[in-house]
Structure 1
Amino acid sequence: MALRACGLIIFRRRLIPTVDKPAIEFLLLQASDGHVDPGENDLETALRETQEEAGITAGQLTIIEGFRRELNYVARGKPKTVIYWLAEVKDYNVEIRLSQEHQAYRWLGLDEACQLAKFKEMKAALQEGHQFLCSTAS
Structure 2
Amino acid sequence: MIVFVMRSLSMQKVKSCGVICFTKTKQPSFLLMKRSHRYDLPKGHIEPGETELQCALRELSEETGITKRQVCLELDFRYRTIYYPRYRLFGGQKVEKSLVIFLAWVSEELEIVMTEHSSSEWIKWNPPHYFHNRIIDELLLAVDRFL
Look up the SS of the partner of 2:130 in the other structure: helix
Does the CA contact (< 8 Å) of 1:54 and 1:96 recur in 2? yes
Q: Which residue number in structure 2 is paired with residue 104 of structure 1? A: 119
Does the CA contact (< 8 Å) of 1:54 and 1:98 recur in 2? yes
Q: Which residue number in structure 1 is paired with residue 29 of structure 2? A: 25
Paired residue type of 1:48: R
Q: Which residue number in structure 2 is paired with residue 20 of structure 1? A: none
Q: Which residue number in structure 2 is paired with residue 50 of structure 1? A: 60
Higher radius of gyration, 1 or 2: 2
Does the CA contact (< 8 Å) of 1:5 and 1:36 recur in 2? yes
User: What is the rounded CA distance, in whole Å, between the counterparts of 1:2 and 1:46 in structure 2?
Assistant: 18
Cα shift readout 1:2-61 (whole Å, capped 9, x = no counterpart) = 21000011111331xxxxxxx331100014661111111110000000000000000000
Note the residue ranges of structure 1 that are not aligned, 5 or more in a row: 16-22, 134-138
User: What is the rounded CA distance, in whole Å, between the counterparts of 1:94 and 1:71 in structure 2?
Assistant: 28
Does the CA contact (< 8 Å) of 2:29 and 2:123 recur in 1? yes
Mapping of residues 51-130 of structure 1, within 5 Å: 51-76=61-86, 77-89=94-106, 91-99=107-115, 101-110=116-125, 114-116=129-131, 118=133, 120-130=134-144
Shift of residue 111 of structure 1? 5.6
User: What is the rounded CA distance, in whole Å, between the counterparts of 1:117 and 1:30 in structure 2?
Assistant: 14
TM (normalized to structure 2)? Answer: 0.74
Look up the SS of the partner of 2:44 in the other structure: coil
Does the CA contact (< 8 Å) of 2:20 and 2:101 recur in 1? yes
- Cα 1:48–1:70 change in 2 (3 A) is same
Query: What RMSD in Å do the two structures reach over aligned CA positions?
Result: 2.1
- Cα 1:93–1:124 change in 2 (3 A) is closer
Cα shift readout 1:74-115 (whole Å, capped 9, x = no counterpart) = 2233221111110011x304221111x100110113468943
Q: Which residue number in structure 2 is paired with residue 18 of structure 1? A: none
Note the residue ranges of structure 2 that are not aligned, 5 or more in a row: 1-11, 87-93
User: What is the rounded CA distance, in whole Å, between the counterparts of 1:116 and 1:67 in structure 2?
Assistant: 21
TM (normalized to structure 1)? Answer: 0.78
Q: As a proportion of its length, which structure holds more helix? A: 1
Q: Which residue number in structure 2 is paired with residue 136 of structure 1? A: none
Paired residue type of 1:61: V
